Structure 1
Amino acid sequence: MNMMDRIGHWGDTHHPAWLDMLRIVLGILLFVKGISFISDTTKLSQLISGLDIRLWTVTAVHYVAFAHIFGGFLIAMGCLTRLSSLIQIPILITAVFFVNIRMGFSYLNSELWLSMATLLLVLTFAVVGSGRFSVDEYMRTHDR
């Protein structure tokens, strides 16, 4: 058994039911955040262009919005949860360490705290997976 299989097996056997509810809330939060990015692309463009990195701003804006909308939906449904969580990690690391930290590390900076909590939850679900109440579990137990 390789390392990824062992992590997956441990995550599948150590998954309480309340963690499924937290996964659903995280997925809905990411989905709503993606919708808000799509509805106000100028704000996201300003955030990304302020990073001074060599990416095309339009491409980065669409990647973030697409990853949040579809990744959030998949996480909420419990379908490909580990993969969807892994796709969110670079976005959230950028949000925590490059975008929101510039505004100061205070309790008034709610976007920083939200990004940090979301990053922690995404890392958690990248390890523990989707749980009992998910599309993945349904597909696993109802094989033809």
Structure 2
Amino acid sequence: MNMMNRIEHWGDTHHPAWLDAVRIGLGVLLFVKGVSFISDTTKLSELVSELDIRLWTVTAVHYVAFAHIFGGFLIALGCLTRLSALIQIPILITAVFFVNMRTGFSYLNSELWLSLIVLFLVVLFSVIGSGRFSMDEWMKNHDR
């Protein structure tokens, strides 16, 4: 058994049911954040252009919004949870270390705390998977 199979097996066997509610809440939060980015693309464009990385701003804005909307939806459903969570990690690392740290590490910086918590949860769900109350589990139990 290779390393990925062992991680998946450990995650599947050590997943309490209450984490499914946390997973659904995380998915809804990411979905809502993606919708807010779509509704105010100028703010997201300003955040991305301030990073001064050699990436087209429009491409980065669309990637972040697309990943949050569809990844959050899939995480909430519990469908392809590990993959959807892995797609979120680069966005959240950028948000924590390059965007939100500029305003300072204080208890008043709520966006930084939210980004840190979401980053922790996304890493957690990329390891432990979707759980018992998910589309992945339903599809596994209802094979044709």
Same-fold call, TM cutoff 0.5: yes
Q: Provide runs of 4+ in structure 1 moved above 2 Å.
A: none
Could you tell me which amino acid in structure 2 is paired with residue 90 of structure 1? P
Counterpart in the other structure of 2:81: 81
Unaligned runs of 5+ in 1: none
Question: In 1, Cα distance between the equivalents of 2:103 and 2:36?
Answer: 20
Q: Secondary structure at the match of 2:106?
A: coil
TM-score (norm 1): 1.00
Question: In 2, Cα distance between the equivalents of 1:90 and 1:48?
Answer: 13
Q: Secondary structure at the match of 1:143?
A: coil
Counterpart in the other structure of 1:6: 6
Question: In 1, Cα distance between the equivalents of 2:16 and 2:142?
Answer: 21
Cα shift at 1:76: 0.1
Could you tell me which amino acid in structure 2 is paired with residue 6 of structure 1? R
Could you tell me which amino acid in structure 2 is paired with residue 73 of structure 1? F
Counterpart in the other structure of 1:32: 32
Counterpart in the other structure of 2:103: 103
Counterpart in the other structure of 2:41: 41
TM-score (norm 2): 1.00
1:7-39 CA-partner distances (Å, limit 9, x unpaired): 000000000000000000000000000000000
Cα shift at 1:48: 0.4
Counterpart in the other structure of 1:138: 138
Q: Secondary structure at the match of 1:15?
A: coil
Cα shift at 1:68: 0.0
Cα shift at 1:109: 0.4
Could you tell me which amino acid in structure 2 is paired with residue 24 of structure 1? I
Unaligned runs of 5+ in 2: none
Counterpart in the other structure of 1:126: 126
CA RMSD of aligned residues (A): 0.3
Counterpart in the other structure of 2:53: 53
Question: In 2, Cα distance between the equivalents of 1:101 and 1:25?
Answer: 25
Q: Secondary structure at the match of 1:106?
A: coil
Q: Secondary structure at the match of 1:54?
A: coil
